[in-house]
Amino acid sequence: MKIHRRNSRTFLLIILGMLSAFGPFVTDFYLPGLPSIGDYFDVPASMVQLSLTSSMLGLAGGQLLVGPISDKYGRKRPILITLGLFVAATVACLFAWDIYSFVLFRLFQGIAGAGGIVLSKSVAADLYEGKELRRFFSMLMVVNGLSPILAPVFGGFLLNFTDWHGIFVTLLVIGILLFAVNLRISESLLKHRRIQGSVWGTFRAFVPILRHRRFMYYVLTQAFGMGVFFTYIASSPFILQQHYGLSPIGYSVCFATNAAGIIVGSWLAGRFRRGSNALSAGLWGLVGSGVLCATTLLCGLPFGFLESTLFLLMVAIGMILPTSTALALDIEREHSGSASAVIGFFQFLSGAIVSPLTGLGDILLLTGLLTVCCSVVSLCFGALACRPSRN
C-alpha cells in the first residue's frame, strides 16, 4: 500500500541510501589514513583509535537523540541540521590542534552520521508499509552494501596523492553536496501525525517501544546478527593477514567480495512474499554458515573454505537486516523515529561490546565461538518475533 509522497521512488532510494550509508562511510573512508594521523599528532596507534571509539559512541547515542526529535518536528529539518553539524565537525577536524580535540570532533561527526541512519529509516517507514516497506529496505541495503566496498578503496587511492587532510576535505565536499541535495527532499511526516506536547515529552516514546515485546524481539534478532558482523569486522584483518598471510591488497579484495554478499542477501530477501519467511531463511543460513566458519577456523582448513563461509555469513546478514528492520518498524509506525533510533542504538551497542572480545585470547577460537553464539541467540529471538500472535 502506497502512502502520499511527492518525491519519486528512485530519488528517495538514492538519497535515503546515501544518508543511511553516510555514517559508516565516514569511518571506512578514513581508515587508511589512521597511521598518517598518528604521525601528524605524534601519538601511538591506540590514541588514534580513540577517534573510532568516539565516532561509534556518536553513531549510537546520536540516534537516541535525533529519533524522538524527528517524531516531534518532522524529518526534513533534522536531516538538514545533522548534515550542517557534519560539515561544521569536519571543518573542526581539519583544524584540530591535538589528538584530543580531533577525538572530540569525531564524536560530533558520529552524532551527525547517526542522524542520517535513523532518519533514512524513519522517512521510509512514513511513506511505505508492509511488503512495499520490506522491498524498499532490501533495495536500500543494496545501496548501503556499496559503502564498505568503495570507501576503503577510495580512501586508500586518495592517500596516494594527499594525506589525511585530503580525505577530510573530500568528506567536507560530500557533506556540502548532501546538504544541497536534501533541500529538495519533501517532508514525509505530516503535522497531524507528529507527536504533540513538549520536546522532552517525545523521549517518553522510548518507554512503550522498549516494552513492546515483539518489536524488541526483532531488535535483538538484528543486534545479535550484527554481533556476527562486528566480530568479522574486528577479527578479519588479523586472521586473514596474519594467520592466512594475505597482503593488504588481498585483504581489501576479500573485504569487498564479502561486502557484495550483503548485497546478494538483500536482493534475495526482496524475492520472498513474506518478510517472516525471508527472516527465517536468513537466520537459519546465519547459524549454518556460522557453524561452518567456526569449524573452518578451529580445524585450520585452507583459506578457500574460510572465504566461502564468510561470504555465506554476509549473505545471511544481508537477508536479516532489511527484513528485521521492516518488520520492526511496521509495528511501531506511530513512533517510527524513536523506533529507528532504538534499532540503530542496539546495532552499534552490539558492535561496541563484541568487537573487543575477539582480542582477549586466541583470536581463531574466540571468533568461532562468538560467531556461533551470536547467530544462535539471533535465531532464538527471531523465532520469538515470528511466532503467531495470541491475538
Give residue 223's pLDDT: 92
Give residue 337's pLDDT: 67
Q: Which residue from 169, 116, 106, 166 is spatially nearest to 143, judged by alpha carbons?
A: 116
Q: What distance in Å separates the CA atoms of residue 153 and residue 162, rounded to the nearest whole number?
A: 14
Q: Which residue from 375, 26, 15 is spatially nearest to 229, judged by alpha carbons?
A: 375
The structural domains of the chain, with segments of one domain joined by +, span 1-194, 205-391
Q: What distance in Å separates the CA atoms of residue 140 and residue 327, rounded to the nearest whole number?
A: 15
Q: What distance in Å separates the CA atoms of residue 207 and residue 218, rounded to the nearest whole number?
A: 17
Say if residue 200 is exposed, middle or buried (CB neighbours under 10 Å; 0-12, 13-18, 19+).
Answer: exposed
Say if residue 134 is exposed, middle or buried (CB neighbours under 10 Å; 0-12, 13-18, 19+).
Answer: buried
Q: What are the grid coordinates assigned to 341, written together?
A: 533510533
Q: Where are the alpha helices (H) located in 159-274, listed in sequence order?
A: 164-182, 206-211, 213-238, 248-269
Please state which of the four CATH numbers 3.40.1160.10, 3.10.180.10, 1.20.1250.20, 1.10.10.10 is assigned to the domain occupying 205-391. 1.20.1250.20
Give residue 389's pLDDT: 61
Q: Which residue has the cell 569449524?
A: 295
Give residue 152's pLDDT: 65
Please state which of the four CATH numbers 2.30.30.110, 1.20.210.10, 1.20.1250.20, 1.10.645.10 is assigned to the domain occupying 1-194. 1.20.1250.20
Give residue 2's pLDDT: 41
Low-confidence ranges of the chain (pLDDT < 50): 1-5, 391
Give residue 201's pLDDT: 66
Give residue 248's pLDDT: 64
Say whether 2 sits in a helix, a strand or coil.
Answer: strand
Give residue 91's pLDDT: 94
Q: What distance in Å separates the CA atoms of residue 345 and residue 206, rounded to the nearest whole number?
A: 12
Taking the CB of residue 299, how many other CB atoms lie within 10 A of it? 10
Give residue 3's pLDDT: 41
